Structure 1
Amino acid sequence: MAAPSDTPRDRLRLAALPTGGPTRFDLAPDAAARAALAERLDLIRLPKLRFTGALHPEGGGGWRLEAELGATVVQPCAVTLEPVTTRIDASVSRRYLAELEEPEAGSETEMPEDETLEPLPEIIDLAEVMAEALSLELPDYPRADSAAFEGRRAAPPGAAPMTDEETKPFAGLASLRDKLAGKE
């Protein structure tokens, strides 16, 4: 991988990259970096993490990042808080365009149809792209195989809790229709 001497290997200064072909990268953070990222993303552990791919020059001074993210994450179960291990394998794609402007802070902006588009930075921080991609792929509510959530029922003192059927507004109408149909 061609990396300028004034930036770390995971931060690529676009002006210094060759434009004749792709610039390949392969990030495999060490245990300390994985532990720091696990803490940042509220994970129990992050035993494996790898981010490999290439930056491809595009017309108009733009760049396209195509990569594969592989990770093993351990999160707390949403029901029991037991550790839940998940394997993540995902494709990551970003397009950095010179003519795309960064939205102003506090202003309302419409999201582009293509969510891979980003303004062209001076430096692409591959570790940050990897962290963002991982955070987007994490299960929102991981569940242990043994987790069972049967719901909760609550009612004021002296009242019976409502059943699921009673909360459906048309259930009563259906039974009324059936009664009326039988009487006719």
Structure 2
Amino acid sequence: MSDKFTPEFSRIVKTDEQVSAKEKLVIEANEKERAALAKRFELVSIDSLTAELTISTASNGEVTVRGPMNAEIVQNCVATLEPVPEVIEDTVEVLFSPHVSEEDLPSNPDDLEDLSEEELMALLDQPEPLVDGKIDVGEVVAQFLAVAMNPYPRKEDAELPTSVKTEEEAAEEKRPNPFAQLAGLKEQLEKKN
């Protein structure tokens, strides 16, 4: 993660200070955090965002963050741009490991181009880096929210207006029909004879 990025919904857990191997944590985004996340994800609003997480530390130092995440959001309809409310219920589940460093992960999308399907799947299964025993569980929840929301929200019965045409359709209409031109030429020749 870039050092310049400051998460809007940050809740740092210091796993090396955990009293037991398993702790429960309930987090909830406040109004300011929800507004900032809505701006980041280009939403009309986030009306609620909560998660009940269990943070489990294994003897090898790996940490699992797991639990239900609930949110109420409003997005714009892709067809009409009217507000579309959505209730999101998802399960957060991420494994963090002190044995993985950020250098082991691709730093930009171009690094993924030459990887085989097997290598990509292995990368997806790889734990996230656990740096200095700290996990920002707020940012983890925000990322799960981004993935769980409907990418194409549509209001019930919303349809694109029939007058909306693709650029190809508009160009096709402007292009003269060669058969119509031939028919017109044929009519002119028949009139002369």
Task: Settle same-fold status: TM greater than 0.5.
Answer: yes
Kindly indicate whether the alpha-carbon contact (under 8 Å) linking 1:27 and 1:51 is maintained by their aligned counterparts in 2.
Answer: yes
Is 1:94–1:116's contact at 8 Å kept on the other side of the alignment?
no
1:17 counterpart letter in structure 2: Q
Question: What is the deviation of 1:29?
Answer: 1.4
1:42 Cα deviation after fit: 0.7
Does residue 80 of structure 1 match 2:90? Answer: no
Query: What residue in structure 1 maps to residue 60 of structure 2?
Result: 60
Give the match's secondary structure for 1:144: coil
The residue number in structure 2 matching 1:42 is 42
1:114 offset after TM fit, Å? 4.6
Higher helix residue share? 2
The one-letter amino acid of 1:21's match is A
| Deviations 1:120-140, CA, capped at 9 Å, x for gaps | 222111111111111111111
Q: What is the RMSD of the two structures over their aligned residues, measured on CA atoms?
A: 2.3
**Deviation of 1:31 (Å):** 1.4
Is 1:142–2:153 an aligned residue pair?
Answer: yes
Query: Is 1:118 matched up with 2:120?
Result: no
* Contact 1:79–1:143 (CA under 8 A) maintained in structure 2: yes
Which consecutive residues of structure 2, in runs of 5 or more, have no partner in the other structure? 1-9, 113-118, 178-193
Q: Deviations over 1:103-148 (max 9, x none)?
A: 2645836432654721122211111111111111111110011311
Secondary structure at the aligned position of 2:36 is classed as helix
Contact residue 38 and residue 44 of structure 1 kept, 8 A: yes
Instruction: Give the share of equivalent positions with the same residue, in percent.
Output: 24
How far 1:94 moved relative to its partner? 0.3
1:72-104 CA deviation, whole Å, 9 max, x = no partner?
Answer: 110001111000011100011000112223226
Amino acid at match of 2:15: L
Matching of residue 94 in structure 1 with residue 104 in structure 2: no
- 1:152-163 pair list within 5 angstroms: 152=165, 153-154=169-170, 155-159=172-176
State TM-score, norm by structure 1. 0.73
Q: Does residue 8 of structure 2 align to residue 16 of structure 1? A: no
* Preserved contact between residue 21 and residue 58 of structure 2 (Cα < 8 Å): no
Distance of aligned partners of 1:41 and 1:104 in 2 relative to their CA distance in 1, 3 Å threshold: closer
Q: Aligned with 2:60: secondary structure?
A: helix
1:23-64 CA-partner distances (Å, limit 9, x unpaired): 111111121211111111111011111111110011311111
Say which is worse superposed, 43-52 or 98-107, in terms of deviation.
Answer: 98-107
Count residues in correspondence.
151
Q: TM-score, normalised by structure 2?
A: 0.70
Q: Which has the larger Rg?
A: 2
Q: Which letter does structure 2 place at the counterpart of 1:139?
A: N
Aligned pair in 2 of structure 1 residues 75, 116: CA closer, same or farther (>3 Å)? farther
4+ runs deviating over 4 angstroms: none
What residue is the counterpart of 1:131 in the other structure?
142
